[in-house]
Structure 1
């Protein structure tokens, strides 16, 4: 892909799954990657794999729910690499104590909604806010936000999660509309069922078969499927794509 070599990309949530796969793909394309995550051990493992493959990456601990921690993440990127050229937002609170308690409205716990929005949506607003001045200093850049199929389909459960992801789509359009003329592109990815290490531990074969039956592809998703799309949107090859949220879901959601 054009335009990734020697660029600095912050991966906000790069310890495992889609984030780790994207960090590795970006490094393969020649980018310098700052791998941030609440799970520092996972971020260190990601950067170790990148280094072993000949790439350049630095791990750092950060918390999407903490504005000061977000600022420190970008300060670290500037300190290590001299600036920031792109941001991939992929972190979310998927813990059993949060998403596992995200029931229907009659079971609603307002604390779960607040926590979900604090991490999944307000956290992304903080990372975008920290990245935009740095991107402008460099003459422009790209942001890719991770949304979800949940933002587009009605589910009987997880309304807080779905609403937070719908908010990310709005945030993506806002950034593209406000700073697009100044050289900033902001797009989103909406994954379907992706077989990451976390998901594999919790999904039964019956559940995976049910999901597979509902899509138009012959397999479920892999983190690498999202990594290739994210790398493309962060590259110069996607120079004329802005304000879009792409469904990367094996044909699960057919929408215009």
Structure 2
């Protein structure tokens, strides 16, 4: 892809799954990546895989729910790499204590809604806020945010997660609309069911069979499928794409 070689990309949530696959793909395209994550052991492991393969990667521990931690992540990325050309927001709280207690409104726990908001939406807004001044100073750059098919899927459960991901779409359009004329592009990706290690370990064969029946592709998604689209959106090949949230879901969601 054009325009990724030598770029400096921060991956906010890059330790595992889609984030880790994106770190690998971006490094293969010649970018230097900062692997930020609350799981430092996994972030370091991902960074080592990148460097062992000849790429450039740095692991940084940070928490999307902590404003000072986000500021430290971006500050360290600038200090170590000399600047930032792109940001990929992919972190989310998928823990059993949060995702596992996200149920319909009659059974809702407001704490679950607050946690989803703080990590999945406010955290993204704060990373964008910290990165945008650096992008403006150098004449532009790219931000990619991770939404979800849950944002418009009408799932009878997980409304807090869905609402936070719907907000990511609004955030993406705001950034594109506010700073597009100044050279900043902002887009999003909306995964469907993706066969991350966590999904493979936690979900039954019945759930996987249901997911396969629900899509228009012959297989379920892999993290590398998302990584390829993220790399494209961060590259110069997508120079005329901004303010969009692309479904990357094997045809699970059919929308214009």
For the criterion TM > 0.5, the same-fold answer is yes
* 1:88 paired residue number: 88
* 2:147 paired residue number: 147
What is the RMSD of the two structures over their aligned residues, measured on CA atoms? 0.5
Question: SS of the counterpart of 2:60?
Answer: strand
Tell me how far apart the structure 2 counterparts of residues 139 and 77 of structure 1 sit (CA, whole Å): 18
- Shift of the alpha carbon at 1:152? 1.1
* 1:110 paired residue number: 110
- Shift of the alpha carbon at 1:170? 0.2
Q: How does 1:1-256 map to 2 (within 5 A)?
A: 1-256=1-256
Tell me how far apart the structure 2 counterparts of residues 49 and 65 of structure 1 sit (CA, whole Å): 27
Question: SS of the counterpart of 2:189?
Answer: strand
Deviation per residue, 1:196-215 (Å, 9 max, x gap): 00000111111111110111
Question: SS of the counterpart of 2:254?
Answer: coil
Runs of 4+ that moved beyond 6 A: none
* Structure 2 alignment gaps of length 5 or more: none
Tell me how far apart the structure 1 counterparts of residues 170 and 210 of structure 2 sit (CA, whole Å): 30
Deviation per residue, 1:55-106 (Å, 9 max, x gap): 0000000000001000000111111110000000000010000010011000
- Shift of the alpha carbon at 1:165? 0.1
- Shift of the alpha carbon at 1:242? 0.2
Question: SS of the counterpart of 1:185?
Answer: strand
Deviation per residue, 1:98-117 (Å, 9 max, x gap): 01001100001111101110
Aligned residues: 256
Deviation per residue, 1:12-52 (Å, 9 max, x gap): 00110000000110000000001000000010000000011
Deviation per residue, 1:144-202 (Å, 9 max, x gap): 00000000110110000000000000000000000000000000000000000000011
TM-score (norm 1): 0.99
Tell me how far apart the structure 1 counterparts of residues 174 and 159 of structure 2 sit (CA, whole Å): 22
TM-score (norm 2): 0.99
